[in-house]
């Protein structure tokens, strides 16, 4: 079923989209109060910078994630970004999710609600770029947050574009992105275990206390895929646990460190996880025992 397209904001406006509903009612009132500003119908004027927010809600956007929204951009829209009020912002810290709609569509960065007006003013004025937000994230994906910086910076460049959609599944997607080391790829598959015939590869207990099931994508069309490009390729509303990229570093290291990409909290943020720990990570993310940032 197709999802409703996003409204086209007027020049100078930024869309703020509700992605959290209960019984069809938008649950973003507390976040809107935290944003401050002056409400005028479906718009909010923030601060002295002249930024106007265009509020957009539709219950059919419930549970959509940041990476899903670039595909819903309305015809004729040149909006560089959108603000998403999702379940994390509603029921956690009021850190709204800024989603890139132009440079690397689908990647996201968290921004505290009280700082949104200042950040948007700089972004729209050109003194700040989305890459700066990504480079300025703490390990929980918050721009200029109070936590430590990520041990592994998330890349802000891309090698190529035009990737197809990733397949729908409810387990980990393991996507090969480097095709220069066939021996390393075979070693990775051997470490995962023998295929059960339908692409589901269980990881044995000798590598982890928790088995990992992965749908393996070995397709040259995904060569050089970067973490920030991943969220927009996952089909909307699919419950993919996580996406792990097997790149050149994965092939070269005997521990096969996977480049795991966040789909939910901060879409496109990435961290390195040894293959032996990936099953435990997938299970904990599935059960919401921890946040992605706890592994960063």
% pLDDT > 90, the chain:
75
CATH code at position 39: 3.40.50.800
Residue 193: pLDDT band (50, 70, 90) is confident
279 and 234 co-located in one domain: yes
Whole-number mean pLDDT of the chain? 90
Q: Last residue of some domain: 135, 161, 184? A: 135
Cβ proximity of 110 and 97 under 8 Å: yes
Determine the pLDDT at residue 210: 59
Q: What is the pTM of this model?
A: 0.92
In the predicted structure, residue 269 carries a pLDDT above the cut 80: yes
Determine the pLDDT at residue 75: 86
Determine the pLDDT at residue 239: 77
Determine the pLDDT at residue 206: 36
129 and 189 co-located in one domain: no
107 and 176 co-located in one domain: no
In the predicted structure, residue 157 carries a pLDDT above the cut 50: yes
Of 212 and 54, the structure prediction assigns the larger pLDDT to 54
260 and 181 co-located in one domain: yes
124 and 228 co-located in one domain: no
Residue 37: pLDDT band (50, 70, 90) is confident
| DSSP state for residue 296 in the 8-state scheme | -
Does 6 map to a domain?
no
**Strand segments (E) across 47-171:** 51-56, 81-85, 95-100, 108-112
Does 280 map to a domain?
yes
Residue 266: pLDDT band (50, 70, 90) is very high
Determine the pLDDT at residue 196: 37
24 and 119 co-located in one domain: yes
What is the pLDDT averaged over residues 49-53? Answer: 85
186 and 124 co-located in one domain: no
Determine the pLDDT at residue 237: 66
Does 189 map to a domain?
yes
Does 155 map to a domain?
no
94 and 187 co-located in one domain: no
Of 4 and 288, the structure prediction assigns the larger pLDDT to 4
Whole-number Å distance between alpha carbons of 143 and 154: 13
% pLDDT > 70, the chain:
92
Q: Last residue of some domain: 107, 135, 163? A: 135
Determine the pLDDT at residue 198: 39
Tens-digit pLDDT profile for residues 56-113: 999 999 999 999 999 999 888 889 999 999 999 999 988 999 999 999 999 999 999 9
Does 42 map to a domain?
yes
Cβ proximity of 90 and 30 under 8 Å: yes
Cα–chain center distance at 249: 22
Determine the pLDDT at residue 252: 96
Determine the pLDDT at residue 204: 34
Q: Last residue of some domain: 80, 114, 135? A: 135
Whole-number Å distance between alpha carbons of 82 and 148: 26
What is the pLDDT averaged over residues 276-293? Answer: 88
Question: Number of structural domains, the chain?
Answer: 2
CATH code at position 215: 3.40.50
Determine the pLDDT at residue 200: 42
Does 32 map to a domain?
yes
Determine the pLDDT at residue 207: 36
Whole-number Å distance between alpha carbons of 188 and 256: 7
108 and 182 co-located in one domain: no
Domain limits for position 24: 13-135
Q: What are phi and psi of 200, to 5 degrees?
A: -85, 120
131 and 176 co-located in one domain: no
120 and 194 co-located in one domain: no
In the predicted structure, residue 49 carries a pLDDT above the cut 70: no
């Amino acid at each position: 079923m197709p999802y409703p397209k996003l409204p086209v904001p007027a020049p100078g406006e930024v869309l703020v989209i509700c992605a959290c509903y209960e019984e069809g009612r938008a649950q973003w009132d507390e976040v809107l109060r935290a944003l401050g500003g002056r409400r005028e119908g479906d718009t909010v004027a923030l601060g002295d910078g002249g930024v106007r927010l265009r509020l957009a809600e539709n219950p059919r956007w419930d549970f959509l994630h940041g990476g899903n929204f670039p595909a819903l951009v309305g015809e004729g829209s040149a909006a560089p970004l959108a603000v998403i009020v999702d379940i994390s912002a509603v029921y956690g810290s009021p850190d709204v999710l800024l989603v890139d709609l132009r440079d690397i569509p689908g990647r996201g960065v968290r921004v505290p609600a009280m700082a949104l007006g200042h950040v948007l003013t700089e972004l729209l004025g050109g003194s700040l770029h989305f890459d700066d937000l990504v480079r300025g994230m703490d390990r929980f994906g918050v721009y200029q947050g109070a936590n430590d910086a990520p041990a592994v910076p998330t890349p802000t460049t891309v090698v190529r574009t035009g990737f197809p959609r990733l397949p729908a599944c409810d387990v980990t997607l393991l996507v090969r992105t480097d095709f220069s080391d066939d021996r390393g790829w075979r070693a990775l598959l051997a470490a995962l275990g023998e295929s059960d015939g339908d692409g589901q590869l269980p990881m044995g207990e000798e590598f982890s206390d928790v088995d990992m099931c992965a749908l393996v994508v070995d397709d040259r069309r995904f060569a050089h895929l970067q973490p920030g490009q991943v969220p927009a390729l996952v089909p909307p509303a699919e419950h993919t646990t996580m996406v792990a990229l097997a790149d050149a570093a994965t092939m070269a290291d005997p521990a096969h460190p996977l480049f795991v990409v966040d789909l939910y909290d901060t879409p496109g943020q990435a961290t390195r996880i040894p293959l032996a720990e990936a099953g435990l990570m997938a299970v904990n993310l599935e059960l919401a025992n921890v946040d992605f940032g706890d592994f960063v």
